[in-house]
Amino acid sequence: MHHVMKSFREVLSNASNILILTGSGISAESGVPTFRGAGGFWRKYQAQNLATPEAFAANPSLVWEFYEYRRQLVSKVKPNKAHEAVAEFQKRKMAEGKKVSIVTQNIDALHQKAGAEDVVELHGSLYRTRCTKCRNIAFNENIPICPALAGKGSPDPSIMSSDIPTEELPRCEVQSCRALLRPDIVWFGEQLDENVLQKALDVVETCDACLVIGTSAIVYPAAMFAPQIARRKVPVAEFNIEETPATKQMQYHFQGPCTTTVTEALAP
């Protein structure tokens, strides 16, 4: 084993409050496309142009098709060795009376499927809906999410929006409401949920070691967490297939696919 890896493993064995921050790169080897890679397109759109309140207001049918596609895709994939290593590490450390907090930007629930506990989902979840009127949040794993979206959402760039009437898109279950639902996901230009953000910041301010796995470190506020921790002189290790704008500030950088690097770092 490389001496740098040995050194980081020693940091981890002495740590008692560890933050694991993840982004879409941890799910890449499960088959979930990342945002800023080549797989970041759906039809002719980039997520930045569909994952916005403006896009939803202009064409809710198109945006729901995009999410129907993502729900279909993610429900078919499995957690990979990195998700499993993270969940097992959390269990092991917890049994030693130590704390491992998992904070993810992902909406795919793969950490939870691997057995991780108390996962903080910064950007929401593909499996929750939020009412645009009464704000009710509901858990929903149905595929299709409503009859009108059955078989919709193909990524083929030549396909046009289905223009499903809003009455046939997902609607609120609350009897007196029945308004249009949206995905319970934090879109560009929207604020993160205050309680969720606070939970993350509590760990950012107190952790004594940190792993940052598979994130491009450009989307705020999550992008400031690792640099903020590094500024406290707390060891931070970045796991990525490439360098990021945050790399220079990190004490450790392990370059390579995270199913290899993270499993090595977190192995018993």
Helical spans, DSSP H, in 38-154: 47-50, 53-58, 60-76, 81-95, 110-113
Marked catalytic residue, from 2, 3, 83, 123: 123
- CA-CA distance, 20 to 8, in Å (whole number)? 14
224 touches 201 (CB < 8 A):
no
Asked whether 64 and 126 are in contact (CB, 8 A), the reply is no
C-beta closer to Zn ion: residue 124 or 235:
124
Stretch that binds ligand BJW, among 83-91, 92-100, 187-195, 204-212 (CB under 6 A): 187-195
> Who contacts 59 (Cβ-Cβ below 8 Å, separation ≥6)?
161, 163
What is residue 213's DSSP assignment?
E
Q: Which of 19, 28, 74, 145 binds ligand BJW (CB under 6 A)?
A: 28
Of the candidate residues 9, 36, 98, 99, the single one contacting ligand BJW (CB under 6 A): 36
If contact means CB under 5 to 8 A according to the sort of partner, which of ligand BJW, Zn ion, none does residue 104 touch?
none
Under rule CB under 5 A, residue 172 binds Zn ion: yes
Q: Decide: is 173 part of the binding site for Zn ion (CB under 5 A).
A: no
* Among Zn ion, ligand BJW, none, residue 244 binds (CB under 5-8 Å by kind): ligand BJW
For residue 149, the partner it binds in Zn ion, ligand BJW, none, with Cβ less than 5 to 8 A by kind, is none
State yes or no: residue 264 binds ligand BJW (CB under 6 A).
no
Does 81 sit near ligand BJW (CB under 6 A)? no
Check residue 51 for interaction with ligand BJW (CB under 6 A): yes
CA distance linking residue 112 with residue 123, whole number of Å: 15
Residue from 4, 57, 94, 174 binding Zn ion (CB under 5 A):
174
Vertex 21 angle, CA 116 and 75, to 5°: 50
DSSP state of 160: P
User: Least CB distance from residue 161 to Zn ion, whole Å?
Assistant: 24
Angle, to 10 degrees, between the axis of helix 258-266 and the axis of helix 81-95? 20
Give which of 123, 129, 141, 144 is closest to 177, Cα–Cα: 129
Q: Which residues 6+ apart lie within 8 Å of 234 measured at CB?
A: 207, 208, 209, 210
Task: Give the x-and-dash track for 95-134 against ligand BJW (CB under 6 A).
Answer: ----------x-x---------------x-----------
Query: Is 123 among the residues known to form the active site?
Result: yes
Residue 218 lies near ligand BJW (rule: CB under 6 A): yes
Residues belonging to the active site: 123
- What is the binding site for ligand BJW (CB under 6 A)? 23-25, 28-29, 34-37, 47, 51, 105, 107, 123, 185-191, 214-216, 218-221, 239-242, 244, 257-258
